[in-house]
Structure 1
Amino acid sequence: MKKSLLVAALGCALVSVSSHADTIAGVYVGAQAWQTDTSGGFADTNNTANFSFDDETNSSVYIALEHPVPFLPNVKINQTTLDNSGVTTLDSSFTFDGQLYTANSEVATDIDLTSTDLILYYELFDNDLVSFDLGINAKYIDGALLVNDRASATQGSADFSGIVPMAYSKIQVGLPFTGLSAYAEGSYLSFDDHELSDYQVAVAYSFIESIAIDMTVQLGYRNVTVDIEDLDDVYADMEFDGVFAGLELHF
């Protein structure tokens, strides 16, 4: 009889742990499609050009691990593409890769830029109404820039990369029993002549909530600002922004 009661108690405990597993530990995997409007420009001096860019659909994917181990931070890895291209009639002269591009010339530009975030954060609050995360972000920027003068065939290119430490935070507010929530998430750094920011605000709707998996759709706005001075001999002052739609899975 005692053995039967013990087995029953263990079974109830296991069911309870399984039904609350997502409040103890979990893995979040997500992807976003981002309609990006790009503005600004770059050069090899602080006299940056002002280019025209086409609208482009970029992507972002991420994975996060949250766990119950005290004092150890949660981990999130996020990779975003920031690719774009365009054709511009210059309103002033500038130099790039040692080449001079004169005013009124027509140039084609191409940006191939990837941002990878390694985020370590703590959940200071975590409930159905409000959650608040705070941490640090090691943002690795890897880029290739190209300028081509269509008339003279003058071409300049540059590669640059670097790790930028940033402050990270996220706040999310939920509406209980509806599956609806809203959040703001971002990273920021201002140091010497470098200034970088990456933030997004969105509404989310959890349309599947089960013991095995949760699924949430997102709709929001994201803004990335890159203002760098002499990173691998590259000067850039660019802004990427636009609306995005995403899907997140929670195991």
Structure 2
Amino acid sequence: MKKCLIAATLGCAFFASTATADTIAGVYVGVQGWNMDTTGSFSDSSSNNGNFNFDDETNGAAYIALEHPVPFLPNVKVNHTDMATAGTTRLNSSFTFDGNLYTTQSDVYTDADIVATDVIFYYELFDNDLISFDVGLNGKYVDGTLIVEDRDSNTRGEQDFSGVIPMVYSRVQVGLPFTGLAAYAEGSYLSIDDHTVSDYQVAIAYSFIESLAVDMTLQLGYRNAQVDIEDLDDVYADLEYDGVFAGLEMHF
């Protein structure tokens, strides 16, 4: 797997050095509001994950990207996403967490306070008004605290976990010239050993300000993130987040 990723990166660097790109450096700054629906489970054992109900949440994401014309040197993007969610569930089966047993028909409060920070290094293979295509590598740093609480029995379990997950990244955008409209798809993916992690979004974008000083673009789309991890800091989780988002991007 590592050899394939290295080979792909070197190939992208070679191709990017001859591809069309911006002739000057550009900075992109964006914010998004994401209306998340969360489903899934977690525990401290692979044999008995609890299935939980989570409330819908509106969380935020923010990113900054730097693009430049220097050959072979990748562009960089940093994206920070809040994925916190919580809810109350009546258990239909027993499970353990943080050394505690939670029994069938117990009403438990669960809190999954997770944030993800993506550090993406990528190359522009094409970049013009009609189509752009980026490819690269993403180091997704996941940091979270999971809580399960049975308030009737005063039983509470809490577990922290964190780690860097290497992923393959790509982005494609298709524009409609002279209208300010575009559509894009962007995502990262990993499947290795017992871990499967993906994070993608598709959206329509409208550039409503285009000037020498700044471009401003509105975004409306759908985002889906799946986190299926086995034994990351003794945490086993299978969580899926999805929903619509709206965003604003500025290009300097």
Normalising by the residue count of structure 2, what TM-score does the alignment of the two structures yield? Answer: 0.90
Secondary structure in 2 aligned to 1:241? strand
Determine whether 1:157 maps to 2:153. Answer: no
Aligned residue runs from structure 1 range 8-157, under 5 A: 24-46=24-46, 47-157=48-158
Q: Deviations over 1:164-192 (max 9, x none)?
A: 00000000000000000000000000010
How many correspondences in the alignment?
231
Residue pair 2:22, 2:127 contacting (<8 A) in 1 also: no
Secondary structure in 2 aligned to 1:77? strand
The residue that corresponds to 1:4 in the other structure is none
The residue that corresponds to 1:249 in the other structure is 250
Q: Deviations over 1:129-173 (max 9, x none)?
A: 000000000000000000001210110000000000000000000
Write the letter of the residue equivalent to 2:243. G
Write the letter of the residue equivalent to 1:223. N
Cα deviation, residue 111, structure 1: 1.1
Cα deviation, residue 23, structure 1: 5.1
The residue that corresponds to 2:4 in the other structure is none
Instruction: Work out the CA distance in 2 between the residues paired with 1:51 and 1:128.
Output: 45
CA radius of gyration, larger in: 1
Aligned residue runs from structure 1 range 173-188, under 5 A: 173-188=174-189
Instruction: Work out the CA distance in 1 between the residues paired with 2:207 and 2:215.
Output: 7
Q: Deviations over 1:13-60 (max 9, x none)?
A: xxxxxxxx9653200000000000000010001121110010001110
Q: Deviations over 1:91-136 (max 9, x none)?
A: 1010000000011100000111000000000000001100000000
Instruction: Work out the CA distance in 2 between the residues paired with 1:137 and 1:97.
Output: 31
Q: CA RMSD in A?
A: 1.0
The residue that corresponds to 1:204 in the other structure is 205
Q: Deviations over 1:71-102 (max 9, x none)?
A: 00000000000000000000101000000001
Secondary structure in 2 aligned to 1:37? strand
The residue that corresponds to 1:225 in the other structure is 226
Cα distance change of structure 1 residues 220 and 80 upon mapping to structure 2, 3 Å threshold: same
Instruction: Work out the CA distance in 2 between the residues paired with 1:45 and 1:250.
Output: 46
Instruction: Work out the CA distance in 1 between the residues paired with 2:25 and 2:131.
Output: 18
Write the letter of the residue equivalent to 2:97. F
Write the letter of the residue equivalent to 1:26. G
Cα deviation, residue 227, structure 1: 0.2
Residue pair 2:22, 2:68 contacting (<8 A) in 1 also: no
Normalising by the residue count of structure 1, what TM-score does the alignment of the two structures yield? Answer: 0.91
Instruction: Work out the CA distance in 2 between the residues paired with 1:105 and 1:114.
Output: 28
The residue that corresponds to 2:18 in the other structure is none
Instruction: Work out the CA distance in 2 between the residues paired with 1:104 and 1:97.
Output: 19
The residue that corresponds to 2:3 in the other structure is none
Gaps of 5+ in 2: 1-20
